[in-house]
């Protein structure tokens, strides 16, 4: 009896699944952003049955997916295809060291919000080097000038799916004498409102590190 | 055999007390407590105080503690799943009947249910689409690219709240003073 119940249920469910598998097609044409970038942005939102093709001639994207998923994709693309928006990027530079002779002191007032995280990294000498905030729109360059250090980058595109702004080609240089010596170059995805502590050091046993504390907001 | 109370009273940073370290091998809760007070304790309890794990000590400790928590969770789940076989049979029958009933109802209502969303879609149109209020649907790694042949990048998993994210970059090409 139980077996029969399951067999009937399974047949009915298979029929229901076939009905739910119908796919819809929509074409999205972009005014402000490139279709290629939009395609990369929605990749993670697509279902296993979804497909897309880029029509570079009309800067559009043809997406095939189930109707429910297509709604989510449409909403994300509508938010993505907006005129370049302004963002604020805050950068704090912190010098960190391990000195067995020194006691763990209290960190400076301007680093209190991340004190608990900094102590996790087991550096007991923590000194702020400088801080700056820069505002710019997507695609614009950004420059942060601190006493001994300089960072230049480009405001990349905002990705609504992950709520991140790309900070492209972030180049950090240090003033050696009267010349700027490049230290590192990276591209970062900063989630809006999230603070990122990037501890940079030569190796895990090193007693010194430079910490970049970054955050981005609208 | 030492109990947890006396362990926590006696435990201090840098301890080499054999009894304390022995207790750690059998008590996950005290291991969690001890790792917070003194991350090096994991090495001492293993008898390897001079080892340095790849990725750094903090990443190692974090990884081990994560495994301990996963094991705890698995144990809890496994314990709760103990159900007697007559009850399992009863549950299976109930589930089967519910599925059967639901699919019968679905079949009866199917033509009506299929019609409803189409009407709603026409009424709301483009404006009716849900608007995303900056709610992240996916996550991206913090470091999308890093220009160096000799760099190791470790993103420390966030605990619960994700307001602060820690990323460690070990790069042999950095200046010698770092």
pLDDT at A166 over 90: yes
Asked if the model's pLDDT at residue A217 lies above 70, the reply is: yes
B141 touches chain A (CB under 8 A): yes
The conformation of residue A111, written as its DSSP 8-state character, comes to G
Find the mean pLDDT for residues A72-93: 92
Is pLDDT of A203 > 80?
yes
Confidence category of residue A170, pLDDT binned at 50, 70, 90: very high
The answer to whether residues B140 and A189 touch, using CB atoms and an 8 Å cutoff, is yes
Q: How far apart are CA B53 and CA B43, in angstroms?
A: 10
Q: Chain A partners of B99 at a C-beta cutoff of 8 Å?
A: 5-6, 9, 13
Q: Rounded to whole angstroms, what are the CA distances from B152 to A81, A139, B168? A: 35, 29, 8
DSSP state string for A50-110: -EEEEETTTTEEEEEE-HHHHHHHHHHHHHHSSSPPEEEEEEEEEEEE--TTS--PPPPGG
pLDDT at A188 exceeding the cut of 50:
yes
Mean pLDDT check: name the lowest of A112-121, A174-183, A192-201, B98-107. Answer: B98-107
pLDDT at B128: 38
Q: Is B169 on the interface with A (CB under 8 A)?
A: yes
Taken as a whole, chain A contains a residue count of 218
Considering only CB atoms, A117 lies closest to which of B56, B129, B166, namely B166
| More confident site: A106 or A7 | A106
Q: Which of A121, A181, A89, A213 is nearest to B176 (CA)?
A: A181
How close is the nearest chain B Cα to the Cα of A208, in Å? 5
- What are residue A98's phi and psi, to 5 degrees? -110, 120
Q: Kindly state the DSSP code that residue B131 receives in the 8-state scheme.
A: P
Q: Which residue from A190, A192, A204 is facing B134, i.e. has the nearest CB?
A: A192
Tell me how close the Cα of A50 comes to any Cα of chain B, in angstroms: 17
Residue A88 has pLDDT above 70, yes or no: yes
Q: Do the chains contact at A75 and B129, CB–CB below 8 Å?
A: yes
Would you call B49 an interface residue with chain A, using a CB distance cutoff of 8 Å? no
Contact A174 B175 (CB under 8 A): yes
pLDDT at B7: 87
Counting residues of chain A whose pLDDT is more than 70, the rounded percentage is: 89
Residues of chain B predicted below pLDDT 50: 79, 105-133
Dist CA B13 CA B41 (whole Å): 8
ipTM above 0.85, yes or no: no
B30 vs A135, higher pLDDT: A135
Q: What is the pLDDT at residue B59?
A: 76
Show residues of chain B in contact with A197, CB under 8 Å.
Answer: 164-167
Residue of A162, A187, A203 with shortest CB distance to B172: A203
What does pLDDT average to over chain A?
A: 85
Distance CA A53, CA A31 (A): 17
What gap in Å lies between CA A125 and CA A107, rounded to an integer? 8
Beta strands in chain A (DSSP E): 24-29, 51-55, 60-65, 86-97, 125-137, 141-145, 149-159, 164-176, 179-191, 195-201, 208-217
Is residue A63 scored above 70 in pLDDT? yes
Which of A19-28, A54-63, B44-53 is most confident? A54-63
**Secondary structure (3-state) at A4:** helix
pLDDT for residue A28 = 94
């Amino acid at each position: 009896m139980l077996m029969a119940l399951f067999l009937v249920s399974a047949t009915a469910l298979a029929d229901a699944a076939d009905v739910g598998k119908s796919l819809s097609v929509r074409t999205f044409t972009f005014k402000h952003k490139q279709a290629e970038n939009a395609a990369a942005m929605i990749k993670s939102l697509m279902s296993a049955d979804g497909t897309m093709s880029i029509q570079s001639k009309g800067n559009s994207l043809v997406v095939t997916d189930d109707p429910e998923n297509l709604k989510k994709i449409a909403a994300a693309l509508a938010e993505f295809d907006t005129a370049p928006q302004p963002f604020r990027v805050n950068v704090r530079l912190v010098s960190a060291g391990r000195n067995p002779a020194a006691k763990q002191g209290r960190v400076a007032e301007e680093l209190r919000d991340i004190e608990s995280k900094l102590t996790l990294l087991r550096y007991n000498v923590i000194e702020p080097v400088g801080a700056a905030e820069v505002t710019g729109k997507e695609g614009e360059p950004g420059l942060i000038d601190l006493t001994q250090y300089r960072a230049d980058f480009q405001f990349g595109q905002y990705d609504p799916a992950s709520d991140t702004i790309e900070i492209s080609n972030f180049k950090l240089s240090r003033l050696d004498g009267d010349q700027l010596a490049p230290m590192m170059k990276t591209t970062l995805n900063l989630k809006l409102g999230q603070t990122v502590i990037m501890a940079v050091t030569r190796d895990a046993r090193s007693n010194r590190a430079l910490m970049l504390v970054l955050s981005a907001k609208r | 055999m030492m109990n947890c109370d006396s362990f926590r009273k006696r435990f201090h940073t840098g301890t080499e007390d054999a009894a304390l370290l022995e207790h750690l091998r059998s008590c996950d809760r005290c291991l969690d407590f001890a790792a917070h007070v003194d991350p090096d304790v994991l090495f001492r309890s293993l008898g390897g105080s001079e080892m340095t794990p790849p990725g750094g000590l903090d990443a190692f400790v974090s990884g081990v503690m994560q495994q301990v928590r996963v094991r705890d969770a698995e144990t809890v789940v496994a314990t709760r799943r103990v159900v007697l076989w007559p009850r399992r049979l009863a549950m299976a029958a109930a589930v089967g009947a519910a599925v059967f009933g639901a699919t019968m109802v679905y079949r009866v209502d199917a033509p009506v249910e299929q019609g409803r969303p189409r009407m709603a879609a026409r009424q709301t149109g483009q404006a009716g689409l849900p608007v995303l209020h900056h709610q992240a649907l996916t996550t991206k790694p913090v470091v999308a690219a890093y220009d160096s042949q000799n760099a190791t990048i470790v993103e420390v998993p966030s605990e619960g709240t994700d307001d602060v994210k820690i990323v460690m970059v070990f790069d042999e090409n950095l200046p010698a003073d770092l």
